[in-house]
Amino acid sequence: MRFINPKVDYAFKKIFGSEQSKDILISFLNAIIYDGEKTIKDLTIVNPFNPGKIISLKETYLDVKAVLIDGSIVIIEMQVARMTAFNKRVAYNLSKAYANQLDKGENYPLLNPAIAVTITDFVLFKNTDDNINKDDYINKFVFQEETKKYKCLEKELRLIFVELPKFKKSLSELKSLTDKWIYFLKEAASFDEIPESLGEIGEIEQALNIANFINMSPEELEIVEN
């Protein structure tokens, strides 16, 4: 049994952004945003990925975008390679998703919160404080006052980063839903079978079935392997 690397743009979009991916995405976002709590009950995937429409990996397969049942917008990106001004691009994409909710003449109260979930296959934040946990692989940012540290508009714009290289847990150490999803992203390409502790999570098992080479068309295999 072989699995495609979910960090590859095409695979990430297929696993998390297809019509069949709603339950997968709900579970994943609950794990990353809400620490495994079942806060998100439903969502709509915007412009869902169509595996039947095969195009080159040179095309843009960056984001999965979803609208939650409360109207909140979530954009999800997997970034493998470090790039110049990456943080600015993340901020730009979040700001654009937030601002584009309004058509000309519409009023600001119509704006819904926006969240950017960004997964990187490189270290983005280097910890210099000895008191910071070296395995601090999820970082969440909101607006707050510089010196007094009280929060402002914390529900409106949120940045969440997952740094895969900082995640050091082995399969036997996985306890939470969050740990299991991050382990899936980091290690799925090395599996020769579905690990029992991951398979017991229905949505992760579904994601692995989508990622299974045996379930892919020859055209998809050519794209992924090239």
The confidence score (pLDDT) of residue 50 equals 75
User: What are the mean pLDDT values of the chain's consecutive 10-residue runs (226 residues total)?
Assistant: 91 93 98 96 92 50 84 96 93 95 93 97 78 75 86 88 96 97 97 96 97 85 74
Task: Dig out the tokens for 112 from the structure.
Answer: 């819904």
Alpha carbon distance 150, 137 (integer Å): 24
Residue 57 is predicted with a pLDDT of: 44
CB contact set of 199 (below 8 Å; sequence gap of 6+): 205, 208
Residues 23 and 20: their CA atoms lie apart, in Å, by 8
Domain assignments of the chain as residue spans, ordered by start: 9-225
What is the model's pLDDT at position 129? 56
